[in-house]
Amino acid sequence: MVLNLTSNAFLNDPYAVYAQLRVSEPITPIEQPIFGKALMLTRYNDVVAVLKDTRFSNERHKVTDGRDWTKSWWVPSAFRSLLNSMALMDDPHHARLRNLVHKGFTPRMTQQMESQIEKVSHTLLDQAAEKQTADLMADFALPLPLTIISEMMGVPHQDRRKFQQLMKKFLMVGTSTNPLTLLAQLPNFLTLNHFFRDLIALRQRDPQNDLITSLIQAEEQGDTLSEHELVAMLFLLLLAGHETTVNLIGSGTLALLDHPEQLKRLSSDLSLLDDAIEEMLRFTNPVHQIAPRYALEDVDLYGRRIPKGSTVMAGIASANRDETVFKDADTFDITRNPNRHVAFGLGIHYCLGAPLARLEAKVAFTVLLTRFPNSKLAIAREKIEWRRNPVLRGLKSLPLQFNT
């Protein structure tokens, strides 16, 4: 059986499909428009093993005799920057880029954004509360990280409206699994690519206390990031960092509304928020699968053989609901401990933006639950719709009535 990730049955309730596969076919064939035929892993131990095993590569050309269409001369630089980021590299190239990026994208820089995240959260909720019915996604979950990343990157104020419009289009397309959609949005990719290059040139001439300046100045033993590498990193931060935060805020809020006893407990004791966010990550899974791995040799995995050259998708959402690892795995428990979820991946490709996503979520939920602890759904629960994306699972909208 080949699993259809775009079927209504899967998109409406992927967790029921995952539960069945973990028992009957834990390494299951799938087909996707972008990556083609692949094998998806659904058990926690299998996912963890592959993410840590150097016999699985992030570089496709290693299993295609050096052939990789993403590196062809005809591929626009905007696409190449997105497809050839460090998320799709092995060591030593990955280690070099990560070490340099760590020097620019520091924990201290992330922590310094806390007061700004709080300020923006209050402003957005002030505006949303004026409406009879607010859409938490459009009014809060989406614009919050967009505003923060604009601030972090040091986008000049006069350019922020243009930048955020370009980002919205890019993020909408970047989460698509349809190659035709990607092709149709080539002009927007090119425009955003030029915007980044102009911004990098501006910060080379006029350094500021922002992320792009820090990345430009990052150096290790005389090595620095090239302009191409800087652009690739900015694309990666937008796609990976932003989308995780949007889905975490939206789906996390819905999980609390679906479990009113958990919402009441958290609202009355915000010291539980750190653990609650970890449970939101495990239970709602903003990202269902991460970048593909490629088998460099035949690998026997818990009694099953993965042939050399296979494309392997690590189903981290299924792993996070594995009943052999998490007690009552389908129960949402904000006090769950331990909670060894893999929502941000594992190993050398652990999500670089995880600290920022956690901080944004913590501040956002602190403000939301402090101001509006008794918010209610403004429509019937069965009318809530998920976006039709099997990789990045998020809500289309979340209509709420804000109640203090």
pLDDT tens digits for 130-185? 998 999 999 999 999 999 999 999 999 999 888 888 887 776 654 455 556 666 76
Q: How far apart are CA 211 and CA 289, in angstroms?
A: 28
Which tens digits make up the pLDDT trace of 79-137?
666 667 888 899 999 999 999 998 888 888 888 999 999 999 999 999 999 998 999 99
The whole-chain average pLDDT of the chain stands at: 90
* All domains of the chain in start order, with CATH: 8-401 (1.10.630.10)
Banded model confidence at residue 391, pLDDT cuts 50, 70, 90: confident
DSSP string, 391-403: SS--BS--EEE--
Residue 179's pLDDT is 57
Triad 215, 286, 398: Cα angle to 5°: 115
Q: How far apart are CA 78 and CA 170, in angstroms?
A: 11
Instruction: List the 134-135 sheet strands across, edge first.
Output: 134-135, 399-401, 376-377
Residue 47's pLDDT is 97
| β-bridge pairing 56-57 and 293-295 | antiparallel
Banded model confidence at residue 64, pLDDT cuts 50, 70, 90: confident
Query: Could you tell me if 286 and 394 are in contact, meaning their C-beta atoms sit under 8 angstroms apart?
Result: yes
Banded model confidence at residue 6, pLDDT cuts 50, 70, 90: confident
- Residue 52 in this model has a pLDDT that exceeds 60: yes
Residue 398's pLDDT is 98
Residue 74's pLDDT is 64
Banded model confidence at residue 66, pLDDT cuts 50, 70, 90: low
- Residue 46 in this model has a pLDDT that exceeds 70: yes
Banded model confidence at residue 242, pLDDT cuts 50, 70, 90: confident
Q: How confident is the model over 317-340, as a mean pLDDT?
A: 97
Q: How confident is the model over 308-317, as a mean pLDDT?
A: 96
Banded model confidence at residue 243, pLDDT cuts 50, 70, 90: confident
Q: Position of tokens 């967009």? A: 146
Residue 37's pLDDT is 87
Q: How confident is the model over 192-219, as a mean pLDDT?
A: 93
Residue 333's pLDDT is 98
Residue 351: how many CB atoms within 10 A of its CB?
A: 18
| β-bridge pairing 311-314 and 36-41 | parallel
Share of the chain above pLDDT 90, in %: 67
Residue 399's pLDDT is 97
Range scoring the smallest mean pLDDT among 128-137, 183-192, 286-295:
183-192
Residue 237's pLDDT is 81
Triad 51, 319, 395: Cα angle to 5°: 110
Residue 239's pLDDT is 73
Residue 18's pLDDT is 96
In the three-class reduction of DSSP (H, G, I as helix; E, B as strand; rest coil), residue 43 is classed as: coil
Banded model confidence at residue 276, pLDDT cuts 50, 70, 90: very high
Q: How confident is the model over 208-236, as a mean pLDDT?
A: 91
Banded model confidence at residue 316, pLDDT cuts 50, 70, 90: very high
Residue 99's pLDDT is 93
